[in-house]
Structure 1
Amino acid sequence: MLPFFDGNDYNEWKVKMTSFIQSLDYNLWDIIVFGLEMPKETISKTRMRYDEKEKEIMKVNAKPKHVIFCALSSNEFDNISSFYSEKVIWDKLEEMHKEKNVEKTTTCLMALEKNENESDEDDARKGENEVSYDDFVDDVDRYTLIISTLQNMIKFFTVENNELKMSISSMNENESKKGEMGLLKKENSCLFKENE
C-alpha cells in the first residue's frame, strides 16, 4: 500500500516511502537519490524525434515521479508540482520538512529543558526534606526521650495533685472539727451559765 503524506510526520513517511519505492524497483530509488540524466539535445528536437533509448529514459524518469505525486496530499503536491526532476522533488520535500522538523525539535528541546529544570528544582526541594537514616534515628530517640520525660512529669503532677487534694480535705476536716468544737464550747459555756 502506497504511504500517503499529508504534511505530518515527514520522517515516518520518508522511511515508509523509501521502503515502498525500493520494493517496487530499486532502480527507481536510485533515480530519486542520484537523479537521471535526461537526453541532451544539441539540436532542439521534439519528443516525437526521440529514439527508443531516449524514450525509455523518459519513461523510467516518469515512474518515480508518478509514485511520489500519488503519495502526496493536495497541499504537498502544490508545493512541489512545478519541479521536473524526481530527485529535486524528493530533495525539496526533505528541505521543506527539515525546517518544520527543526522547529518542532527546537520546541521539544525547549519543553524538555524546561521540564528538566522543573524536575531539578523538585529534586532540590525533595533533597531539602530528605533525612539520613542516622539523623532519623537521632530524631526518634530525642522525641522518645521528650515523651518519656512528659509522661514522668504527668505522673509526678498527678501524685502531687492527689496529695494536695488530701491535704485540702484534711484541712477542711480540721476546720470543720474546730468549728464543731467551737460550737460545743459555746454550748458548754451556755449550759454552765444556766447551771450557775
Structure 2
Amino acid sequence: MQRPPLFESDGFIYWKNRFETYVKSKDLDLWHVITDGDFPPIQFNPETKKDEIVSFHKQNDDLKKKLAKNNEAKMVIYNALPRKEYERIFMCQTAKEIWDTLLITHQGNNQVKANKIDLLVQQYEQFMIPEEESIDNAFAKFNTIITSLKALDEGFSSKNCVRNLANCDW
C-alpha cells in the first residue's frame, strides 16, 4: 500500500479531500471505520436467529478481519501525519476519534463551520469580475469559493455555479 497524502494544516480542506479519496480507493470499510467508528463484534447466531456479541475466541476470521480495520485505519492516518499532528491525537483510541479531532482542530466546530459557510456564500453571491482582471484569474477565484463551499458540505449545484459565473459583467 503506497503512502497516503501527507497532511497539510494550511491546506486542510485540500488534504482532507485527497485523504478521503485515497482511503476510499484502498478500502471502503476503512473509510467507514474512520467516519462512523468500529465495527461491533457481532455475528448472526443461527440457533437464536439474532445478532449477538461474540467473544474474541469465538469470532470467525471474517469478523476478526473487520474488527482489525480500526488499527489499519489508525495506521493509514498516522502515516499521513507529521509528528506535530501525531502528538495531538496519539491518545485517541479509535480512528474515528482521531478523525473527529483533526476536523475540530483544523475545520472548527459546527458554529465555526457555519460561519465559514456564511462568509463563502456571501463571497459567492457578491462575486464580480473587475474589468482589469483576466478570465483565468477570475475563474480561479470563483472556483476556490465553490470548492471551499463543497468541501464544507454546502450543496451548491454546478448548474447554479455556472449560472452565477455567466451572469457576471464581463
Higher helix share goes to which structure? 1
Q: TM-score, normalised by structure 1?
A: 0.44
Q: TM-score, normalised by structure 2?
A: 0.50
Higher strand share goes to which structure? 2
- Which protein, 1 or 2, shows the higher relative CO under an 8 Å CA cutoff with sep ≥ 6? 2
Structure number with larger C-alpha Rg: 1
